[in-house]
Amino acid sequence: MARKITYQQAINEALDQEMSRDQNVIVMGEDVAGGAGSPGEQDAWGGVLGVTRGLYHKHPGRVIDTPISESGYVGAAIGAACCGMRPVAELMFVDFLGVCFDQIFNQAAKFRYMFGGKSETPVVIRAMYGAGFRAAAQHSQCLYNIFTHIPGLKVVVPSNPYDVKGLLIQSIRDNDPVIFLEHKALYTMEGEVPEESYAIPFGEAAVVREGHDVTIVAIGRMVQKAQEAAAELQKQGIHCEIIDPRTTSPLDTDTILESVEKTGRLIVVDESHPRCSMASDIAGLAAERAFSSLRAPVRQITGPHAPVPFSDALEELYIPSAAHIVAAAKSLKEYR
């Protein structure tokens, strides 16, 4: 039965249900219980934003606090996965990728291929990403593009509470390394989520809204911005189709191309920097494989090629907005 819960609660529920289903599922990271070795009780925090709170007591011994040693414990999660555990390691902020990237892209991502298909590494690395919290340049980035570039990794960017639960369950059951990225501005988003366990397959985009004038492919939190824009554009007689890829690796190219063939116009909304981004990747896809369907140039709406600024005045300018999308859609509709 579905009821309304938040994105954050949906993550917690997915972890809880998978830990109950499979004893090999363990959760590790900085403060995922919180308070290990401290005078306060264990489970004091349940993660820096409380996402894993309550799991410590329900699953004794399987919610494990770590030192601030990202290479150490992310690598340990990968090693444990090599012998059949299903660890979910929390990197806290995806920006901390920089201090453990080797273990992710040279170790976990490579093992299966490098070892001739004789290994499986069913590890999930969760991290929050994205701007909007005045958290500045080292706690606000959207680094899914970097992971998406690496063969051997799967990359998940859920945009709502229903998807975040189903995609996290799929991530834990999947036998490949999965990078699971949660936009921090979505944690409080409420939505209908079934109580029972369910998995959403990777590589299946969601058509969030149907329309025949403009295709908007939006990543993660940008799906919300696209929906705001589409509602406004509807009033102006422009009917948008919104595609949420849900996973950037594997990427559901068929659904994107089918939509572009129908509308002839494409906008990609990607909060990350513009170079070598999902925006440029999907724009390239359309240029290469839907060229004859295009009635206007592809538009990429991204953050700028600059670090995320601190000041609210600047950060609001940084993040792609519904207004940007509305303006882009109108210009495409008026093209020629």
Partner 1 sequence: MTKPLTREDLLKAYRTMRTIREFEERLHTDFATGEIPGFVHLYAGEEASATGVCMNLTAEDHIASTHRGHGHCIAKGVDPVGMMAEIWGRKTGTCKGKGGSMHIADLSVGMLGANGIVGGGGPLVCGTALAAKLRGQPHVSVCFFGDGASNQGTIFEAMNLASVWNLPVIFLAENNGYAEATSSKFSVACDNIADRASAFGMPGITVDGFDFFAVYEAAGAAIERARKGGGPSLVEVKLSRYYGHFEGDQQTYRAPGEVQNIRDTKDCLLQFARRVTTGGQLTQVELDSIDAEVKALIDGSVVKAKSDPKPSEADLLTDVYVSY
Residue nearer to partner 1 on the CB measure, 64 or 294: 64
| Residue 40 vs residues 35, 165, 297: alpha-carbon distances, Å | 6, 30, 58
Confirm whether 139 is a catalytic residue. yes
- CA nearest 219: which of 174, 157, 277? 157
Half-sphere exposure (Cβ direction) of 214: Cα atoms closer than 13 Å:
33
Residue 27 tokens read as 């959760």
To partner 1, the closest distance from the beta carbon of 250 in angstroms equals 7
Torsion of CA 94, 98, 169, 155, to 10 degrees: 90
Residue nearer to partner 1 on the CB measure, 105 or 318: 105
User: CA-CA distance, 146 to 159, in Å (whole number)?
Assistant: 19
To partner 1, the closest distance from the beta carbon of 261 in angstroms equals 24
User: CA-CA distance, 276 to 245, in Å (whole number)?
Assistant: 17
Residue nearer to partner 1 on the CB measure, 87 or 161: 87
User: CA-CA distance, 269 to 280, in Å (whole number)?
Assistant: 10
Residue nearer to partner 1 on the CB measure, 120 or 228: 120
Residue 124 tokens read as 């999930």
Residues that bind partner 1 (CB under 8 A): 26, 61-62, 64, 66-67, 69, 71-85, 87, 102-103, 106-107, 110-120, 151-152, 154, 174-176, 250
User: CA-CA distance, 188 to 182, in Å (whole number)?
Assistant: 12
Residue nearer to partner 1 on the CB measure, 35 or 72: 72
- CA nearest 108: which of 144, 155, 169, 158? 155
For 248, counting Cβ atoms within 10 Å of its Cβ (0-12 exposed, 13-18 middle, 19+ buried), the class is buried
Catalytic residue among 57, 139, 183, 324: 139
To partner 1, the closest distance from the beta carbon of 72 in angstroms equals 3
Residues with active-site annotation? 139
